[in-house]
Amino acid sequence: MNRDYNEISKLIKNELSNLLGIEPDDIEDDFSLTEDLHMKPTDITDFIEILSNMNFATESLDFSEIETFSDLVDALTQNQ
């Protein structure tokens, strides 16, 4: 998968907004997944499944180190 950072960020933002029922423009790069976006562990698990189905390498993600939306995009782009 050869995607640039901005393309991956937009794609992830769209999928995350669909999961959470919010507009993509409501997700800022520095937003905390748990604090600002109010994601519960089940939301994170569901989103990992969505990312996996989109052919992202999710098995090596360490969500204890991923706090913000940009952390997530960074981790996914490093594993591609």
Class of domain 5-78: mainly alpha
* Residues linked to residue 32 through DSSP beta bridges, in sequence order: 68
For 7-66, write each residue's pLDDT tens digit. Answer: 999 999 999 999 999 999 999 999 999 999 999 999 999 999 999 999 998 988 888 899
Q: Do residues 47 and 11 lie in contact, with contact meaning Cβ atoms separated by under 8 Å?
A: no
Judging by beta carbons within 10 Å of its beta carbon (0-12, 13-18, 19+), is residue 56 exposed, middle or buried? buried
pLDDT value for 3: 65
pLDDT value for 1: 43
Domain boundaries, the chain: 5-78
pLDDT value for 80: 66
CA distance 69 to 58: 15
Give me the sign of the Cα torsion angle 69, 26, 39, 45. Answer: negative
